[in-house]
Amino acid sequence: MKTLLATIALVHATVHTGTGPALEDATVVIEGDHVEAVGANVTPPANATVIDGRGRQVTPGLFAVASRVGEVDAEAESSSVEGTLPESADPVRAALRVADTYNPASFTIPIARGGGITEALVTPSGGLVSGQAALVELGAQGGIRKPSAALVVSIPAPPSGEDSPSPAGGRSAAFLRLRQAFADTKLYRASHGSYLGNRLRPLSLSAADLEVLERALSRELLLLVEVDRAAEIRGVVSLARELELRIALVGAAEAWELAPELARAKIPVVIDPLRALPESFSSLHNRPDAARILQEAGVPLVIAELSSPHFAHRLRWAAGNAVAEGLSHDAAVAAVTRAPAELFGEPNTGVIRPGAVANLVLWNGDPLEVTSWAQRMWIRGAEVSLETRQDLLTRRYRHVP
C-alpha cells in the first residue's frame, strides 16, 4: 500500500498544524501515509509532486465527534437508519455497537468529506446507555479504526413536545438506572464464578452488557455523556468521581456555568456553538460564547456539529462561529482536529508534524469561513475524491433540459 503512494509537497501555503499558530508560506511534505516534514524552510524532495498552495490553506483533516454519519441515509425513512433500537427496547444497550452497521457507502459520507472531515466518532443514539461508538476514517475504503472507542450515555429530559418519549423516563430515572447498572457490574466482576455457576442474585443486565460496562468501570472505555443542564452535569461529575469513571460531556449546554470545576477535574466538553437557544428546560442557560468561556477556564474543548448527520459538513462553521464569539482561531482549529483525536486516543492524527498520519485538507481560503471550500483531501497519504452526488446533480442540470 505504502509503495503506491506518491510523495507530495504542498508549498507556499498557510498551514494550520493543530498544535499552535498557523505557519505562513509553509511547506508540507507527505511521504507515503505520513507527514514527513512541515515548516517554512522545508525543501520539497526531488521526487515530490509539488502542489502550489499560494493563497490556500492546509489543515489536518477535521474530526467529527458524536456524529451519526454512516448510520443514516434519509433520516425520516426509518428503513435507512441504524445505530439505535426501538423505544420499547431496554434503555441500557451497552452491547450495541455502531461498528456492526456503520455504512461507509452512506449518502452522508461524501457530504461530510466535502466539509473537510476525515475522521468521525460515530455514536449510537436512544436509550440511556446507547451503546458503543466507533472511530472511523472516511477514506475510500471507509475503515473502522476502533469499533469500541467510547460508550455513549444519554441523560434525557422527560418526554416533551415533539420529542420522542424518553424510554429512560427522564433525568431521575436515568441516574437511578445508571447506579443500578454499575452496581450490578461491580457484583458481576466480584462474583464472576458465582455468576457462571448461576449462584448469583438476578442481575438487571445481560452478560454482554455487563462486559462492556466493566470496561467502563476499569477506565478502559471512555464514557461519553450527553447531558445539558448544569444540575445533571454536577450529578454526572459526582457519579463519575464515585465510580472512578473516565468521562467527557457532550451537548453540555450549561457546562459553561461549571467551567472552573470541569477544568479542575480535567473533564473534556464537546459542544456545538451553532446551538445556542434555550431549546428545552435542560438548556435554558445556553449561550453562543460558551466555547470561549470553557477554553479560557482551561476545560479541554472539542467542537462538534450535533444536530444532524446531514449537517456534518457544518463542523468548520461551528468552529468559525465560536471564533466570532471570542475563541481564538488556533483554538477553534484545534477543537475540531487535535483535541478530538487526543480524546479518542489518536494522538498522531489531527495534527501536522513530522510522523503524523497524513490526513490533510487543502482549502481555497480560511477553513472556518463560509466563503471557502475544501479543494483536495488526503487520508493516510492517499488522495480522496471530494466529488459528491450533489456535484453530479449540479453538473447534470448545469443546463436546463
**Residues near other proteins (CB under 8 A):** 68, 73-77, 84, 87, 107-108, 111, 125-127, 154, 156, 160-164, 167, 226, 254, 256-257, 274-281, 283-288, 306-311, 313-314, 317, 320-321, 323-324, 368-373, 390-391, 393-394, 397-398, 400-401
Nearest distance, CB of residue 288 and other proteins, angstroms: 7
Residues ≥6 apart with Cβ < 8 Å to 356: 34, 35, 60, 348, 349
User: Which helix (H) or strand (E) element contains residue 391?
Assistant: helix 389-396
Residue type, 393: L
CB of 400 to other proteins, least distance (A): 5
Cβ proximity to other proteins, 206 vs 394, nearer residue: 394
Q: Which is nearer to other proteins, 101 or 280 (CB)?
A: 280
Nearer to other proteins, 141 or 390 (CB): 390
360, β-bridge pairs = 60, 378
What are the phi and psi torsion angles at 139 (to 5°)?
-75, 180
Q: How far is the CB of 282 from other proteins (least distance, A)?
A: 9
Handedness of CA 346, 182, 82, 65 (dihedral sign): negative
Task: Give, rounded to a whole angstrom, the gap between the first and last alpha carbons of the chain.
Answer: 44
| In the complex, least distance from residue 153 CB atom to other proteins, rounded to whole angstroms | 11
Query: Closer CB to other proteins, residue 93 or residue 97?
Result: 93
DSSP per residue over 282-324, as a string? T-TT--TTHHHHHHHHT--EEE---S-GGGGGGHHHHHHHHHH
Nearer to other proteins, 159 or 345 (CB): 159
Q: C-beta of 320: minimal distance to other proteins in Å?
A: 4
The answer to whether 152 touches 129, Cβ cutoff 8 Å, is: yes
Distance CA 97, CA 46 (A): 46
The distance of closest approach from Cβ of residue 182 to other proteins in the complex, given in angstroms and rounded to an integer, is 22
CB of 391 to other proteins, least distance (A): 8
Burial class (CB in 10 A: 0-12, 13-18, 19+), 96: buried
Nearer to other proteins, 35 or 336 (CB): 336
Question: Distance between CA atoms of 374 and 60, rounded to whole angstroms?
Answer: 12
**Residue number, 29 or 227, with CB nearest to other proteins:** 227
